[in-house]
Structure formats: C-alpha cells, structure tokens
Amino acid sequence: MYTIPTFSVTQKPRAIAVLTSGGDSPGMNPAIRGVVRAALNQDIRVVGIHRGYSGLITGDFEEMNSASVTNIVQRGGTLLKSDRCLAFKDAKVRQRGAQILQENTIDALVVIGGDGSLTGAHLLCRESGIPVVGLPGTIDNDIFGSDDTIGFDTAVNTALDAIDKIRDTALSHESLFLVEVMGRNSGFIATHVGIACGAEMIVVPEYEVEVDAICFQLANNRRTGQGSSGIIVVAEGPEPGLTYSLAHQLEANGQIAKVCILGHIQRGGSPSGHDRVLASCLGASAVDYLCAGYSDIMIGVQNGAICDTPLKHVIANKKPLDPTLFQRALLLHK
C-alpha cells in the first residue's frame, strides 16, 4: 500500500472534469472511478469527457454519478474512450477547450495519459488558469516523476503470459525467438519482461545493439552447453522494423531466429491488482490535491509514497532506464 498525504480543503471546485487521452492503458477505468467517487464524496459535481481532448473541444460531456463507475475496476481500456488529438497542439484550440469548460461551470480538470497528454494539460493550465492535475497513464512506464505508471504492471504480465507459451515451441524445436514488446523509446517493459521470463538477451533503445556480440554469445552458449531459454526480448524502438532487421542480421551471422511481435495485446485485458490499487489511489488523490489548491502538477508514486511533480518538470525530463537494473538483467542471462 502507498503512503498517502492528507490535506486541508482550501479551494473546493464546484465541478471536476476527467478525461483519458493518448494510448489506452489497463487501469484507466479504476483511475476514473477513483476521481469520480472521491469527488462525489466531497459533494463535487463530476463530468466525464469522451475521447480525450477531441471530446473537450466538441463538448462531448457526460454527467457522472456513483453508478456511472460501478463494476469498471476489472475492465481494460477506458470507459470514457480515448484519442490522440493533434489539433490540441494549437493554442487557439486549447483556448476554445478552456472556454467550453468555463461555459459548463467546470472549475478543474484531471487528465489521465502519457507525456503528450500531460503536455497538453500543462499548456491548458498555463494559458487559461484552469486548475489541472495529471495522472501517469501509460504502459511504457516512461514518465518522469513517478516510479510506476498506470498499466505498466499489467502490460508486463500480459507479455509474460504470451512468452511463456512461445517458450514451449522454442524449447520443443530448440529454436530462437525474437519477441518484440512495446515501449517506443523506453526499455522498461523489455527489461522487466526479460528478467521475469529468463530471456537469453534483452535489446532496448537505451543501449546500442551489437549484433556480432549477440551472435558470438549465442554460439558460445550452444558450444559450451549453457542453458538457453530460446527467447530474446526486443523493445520495439522508435521506428518499426527493428526486430525483423535484427533477425536478418542474425541470419547473416548464422543464427536463425523466428519473430513474434506482441503488439497491442499488451494494452488490453483486465488490469492487474497492482494497477487497480495504483490507479484508484492516484485518482482519489487527484481530487484531494485539487481541493487543497494544487494545480499544474502530476500525481505519481516515489519510494512507495503518493507525491506530486510540476508538469513543467514532467514534460521537460526523460525518465532513464536504471542502468544497474539492466546490467543485472544481463548478468542473470549469462
């Protein structure tokens, strides 16, 4: 359980809106529920915004009550739907969004999403003065200011479930599989999955891929009779095609590898117990922070405690992959 700060109510909003934006992640629904139930318990009106910032600028709103979020904690995806709204990068569009919130007597906004969504939240707050709190909702776990993000644990476990099945074939045929997991520019999923599944190797964007060294180690493992899982976990990277390119390079060096891309199955499915607790606590805490007069912040967790980080710092910094963790992963695979 997390250490949760307590505050005095100094600036209770009349109404709070909540939206989910960008790529969906398991646990967004418990986060929405946390916001709604915590606000209603303080007699604050709650409005759900459909389709993220796209719904904000078109006024696609829904009045929410306790029944609106009944039996959603176990559901993947997001009840409010999501979207990647490129138009929200325009200051005039953000101004229109702020105007719509004001016209609907909405005093504050909670945004659940990744770095792009939190950037939009920061700009909206800075330009309009409307109090905004962000929650880190992304499977990539790449958000600065929080040790964990909503959906990361579920995505790791979803990938592990798939890899455990792939391993049966890899061992039966004594073959090598390159399993691609999501993560864009971040190797968090790949590193955690690689450790948890006992992968032979891990390839992440943070460190340069040395194909010759990989081939040498694979050949040496087989020559010396070292155990092999037959699994290499590869983070997808910023550009598509990395895993197939790596497979071709391995083949040119005498190592035949099959490719399995897990893709969007990692976004779906029922959120894990860990993600349900994390999301629920963050959602409820967002209301506490708004009622205490906080704004332009993201609520996350650090060292087991709920904490806040200014959004300007969140979007200006990149969360690094712990080099010690990655080196430990390499050590365990030798």
Distances (CA, A) of 297 to 66, 123, 321, 324: 26, 12, 23, 29
Determine the pLDDT at residue 226.
65
Superfamily of domain 153-267: Phosphofructokinase domain (3.40.50.460)
Determine the pLDDT at residue 312.
98
Structural domain boundaries in the chain: 15-151+271-316, 153-267
Determine the pLDDT at residue 327.
83
Nearest one of 168, 263, 255, 243 to 217, comparing CA atoms: 255
Catalytic annotation, pick one of 140, 153, 275, 296: 140
Which of the residues in the chain have pLDDT under 70? 219-229, 333-334
Nearest one of 78, 73, 68 to 46, comparing CA atoms: 68
> Tens of pLDDT along 117-148?
999 999 999 999 999 999 999 999 999 999 99
Determine the pLDDT at residue 228.
66
The DSSP H or E segment spanning 290 is helix 273-291
Question: Could you check whether 15-151+271-316 and 153-267 share the same CATH topology?
Answer: yes
Query: Distance (Å, rounded) from C-alpha 290 to C-alpha 298?
Result: 11
Query: Distance (Å, rounded) from C-alpha 181 to C-alpha 105?
Result: 43
Determine the pLDDT at residue 134.
98
Determine the pLDDT at residue 251.
84
The CATH class, in words, for 15-151+271-316 is alpha beta
> Tens of pLDDT along 201-223?
889 989 887 777 777 777 666 66
Determine the pLDDT at residue 315.
97
Determine the pLDDT at residue 306.
98
Query: Distance (Å, rounded) from C-alpha 334 to C-alpha 330?
Result: 7
Query: Distance (Å, rounded) from C-alpha 65 to C-alpha 292?
Result: 22
140 is catalytic: yes
Widest CA span in the chain:
72
Determine the pLDDT at residue 217.
73
